[in-house]
Amino acid sequence: MGASPAADPRARLLDAMSAELQRNQQQLKVTGHEAPYFLSYGVKDYESRLIIARYGALFQDDDYRERKLGVDVRVGSYDYDSSVADSLDFGFSTSKGSSFTARKDGPLDDSPLALRTSLWLVTDEKYKAALFQYLKKKGEDVYTVEDPKRPASFSKETPATYVQPPVAFPFDREKWRRVAREVSARFTAHPELFDSEVRVTADKATRLFVSSEGTRLITEETLYAFHVSAVTRAPDGQLLDDSRSFYLPTEAGMPSEARVHEAAQKVIDELLALRQAPAITPYAGPAILAPEAAGVLFHETLGHRLEADRQDGDTDGKTFKGQEGKQILPAFLSLRDDPSRREVNGEPLNGYYLYDEEGVKGQPVSLVEKGVLKGYLMSRHPVEGFPKSNGHGRGQGTLQPVARMANLLVDSTKQVSDAELKKLLIAEAKRQGKPYGLIIRDITGGNTNTSSYGYQAFKGVPRMVFRVDVKTGEETLVRGVEIVGTPLSSVNRILATGQRLGVFNGFCGAESGNVPVSTVAPAVLLQELELQRTMEGKDRPPLLPSPAAPQKGSAGPEAKKD
């Protein structure tokens, strides 16, 4: 696809980027040293809308726009270059005097000359840093044992050309101001919930990308979100929070007013119930994770460990290095990641994109087939046995991209109904001599350690945990625990899965920043799940009642005297 400069102002900027890149590729060189073998320029234009309401009133109502520059300059060759694992922004200075760092902002005006000047200055800085790093890296290799299996530094990829038509970015500010006020006002009737927030956001990112290989891309993405959250304290001082979030690619797809009011009421009801729920002691035994919670389990235990960059580097745990072709999951489970998947059962997926941050088309990847490891999520950083990218080089803003998840999809051939899954839970708890099993119906998220420092472990923060009595099957809401475990042990104790797929949409944070992701999974029954006690809070709730609470002898804060 293409667009003429007259018809599309984005194309004029892309041409300016190409012209400046070609000039630097042909002329940029320090005498007696290598010229760059690869350059790429990325410009990201961000537009944001933000509305925040609390206690029935607006607290923030903002617009924001910026353009950020991403410049990659590599010295050496595809086989061995100046790149290092952590960052392309080298924060050193070889000067004993004052130093200068080029600003990474681009002009908001569509000025080709201003854009070229900004790119020129950053390119000069990045080339000098890359040349310094290349020489330093070669010097360090004198002390390093040669590795005959060492993969290349950077993969060769086929150039891509794509110009996406402009994407509309409507935002009905008056409507969302009103909705935010009305939804946040619901919480004033419940002073036990001492703080709450309604947040409406709309973000648009326009990306222009060119490389010395010939890639030319213009892509646009929009993401709308509605968040409701609140906090309270249990009588014993434990801080309790709850929330609901909706992510949609268009404003037209945003939830209805009735639905967001219903979500707010659900948060209220759950927090009031959690305040009265008993705290339980640490537990190790059978548990069911509802689909959304199971998605977080797979994301933390497997997804991060199948990002190829984590199979390389001295500080990485390399959980699955050399395990290709071997069984790492029960045979009834398969795992894939597909950034080209827009939705599942009509629900949009956060992790959808056309091209990754390195200009490679996002591709479906089979990671685990019938329990057997087949591949990894690949950026343009090769690892042993996997020399090519599959379009998973991702990063926030202009941070250096690394291999990251997009839409992680879990498939199972051992599915049972929810009722049967509960029966299996009770039977397993009885077999283990446990008085109860657990059902985790909701989870806020989690984190994991994949480095070689510390333990290879993960943690999840469950929100709605139910204790299931093995004699009666009665479910009781409990609180005060969080999921912990080692990844391989946990996922290999999955006994069966449910039939319904659940979508967990959110953002994943790692060394390349926060990126939108989705996990699609069924409920899972684990033979054993370990829960440890959460941090115990001892803080008192607010000493005085909220001004919104009915006062003694008054109809409320707005009451008037006769």
* CB of 405 closer than 8 Å to CB of 304: yes
Chain centre distance of CA 234: 30
Residue 309 contacts residue 403 (beta carbons within 8 Å)? yes
Strand 475-478 relative to strand 283-289: parallel, antiparallel, unpaired? Answer: unpaired
Sequence-ordered list of residues with C-beta below 8 angstroms from that of 134, at least 6 positions apart, any chain: 34, 75, 76, 81, 82
| Distance in angstroms (rounded) separating the CA atoms of residues 508 and 354 | 19
Q: What is the rounded distance in angstroms from the CA atom of residue 402 to the CA atom of residue 358? A: 9
- Rounded (10°) CA dihedral 390, 394, 398, 400: -80
At 260 the pLDDT is 97
User: Residue 64 belongs to what H/E stretch?
Assistant: strand 57-75
Residue pointed to by tokens 């006062």: 551
Amino acid at 140: E
pLDDT in the model for residue 313:
63
- Token readout for 428 is 């397993």
Q: What is the pLDDT of residue 535?
A: 63
What pLDDT is recorded for position 556?
A: 47
CB 376 within 8 A of CB 297: no
Give the pairing of strands 475-478 and 458-469. Answer: antiparallel
3-state secondary structure of 254: coil
* Domains of the chain, each with CATH number or no CATH: 173-276 (3.30.2290.10), 283-533 (no CATH)
pLDDT at 451: 46
CA distance 248 to 225: 6
Token couple for 266? 């659900």
3-state secondary structure at position 236? coil
pLDDT at 317: 55
User: Could you give the C-alpha distances from 456 to 100, 449, 506, in angstroms and in order?
Assistant: 41, 6, 23
Residue 549: strand, helix, or coil? coil
Partners of 232 in beta bridges: 240
Predicted pLDDT of residue 8: 85
pLDDT tens over the chain, length 562 residues: 444 445 689 999 999 999 999 999 999 999 999 999 999 999 999 999 999 999 999 999 999 999 999 999 999 999 999 998 644 333 333 344 456 788 999 999 999 999 999 999 999 999 999 999 999 999 988 888 888 888 999 999 999 999 999 999 999 999 999 999 999 999 999 999 999 999 999 999 999 999 999 999 999 999 999 999 999 999 888 889 999 999 999 999 999 999 999 999 999 999 999 999 998 888 889 999 999 889 988 998 899 889 988 877 655 556 777 789 999 999 999 999 999 999 999 999 999 999 999 999 999 999 999 999 999 999 999 998 999 999 999 999 888 999 999 999 999 999 999 999 999 999 999 999 999 999 999 887 655 554 444 445 566 778 899 999 999 999 999 988 888 776 677 788 999 999 999 999 999 988 889 999 999 999 999 999 888 877 666 777 788 888 877 766 554 444 433 3
3-state secondary structure (DSSP) of residue 247: strand
Q: Which pLDDT score is estimated for 442?
A: 86
Task: Tell me which amino acid residue 536 is.
Answer: E
How far apart are the C-alpha atoms of 527 and 301, rounded to whole Å? 16
CA distance 438 to 279: 13
Q: Which candidate, 297, 289, 240, places its Cα nearest to that of 267?
A: 240
Category of 535 on φ-ψ map: left (φ > 0), alpha (ψ -120 to 50) or beta: beta
Interior CA angle at 10 toward 163 and 207, to 5°? 65
Model pLDDT, residue 557: 47
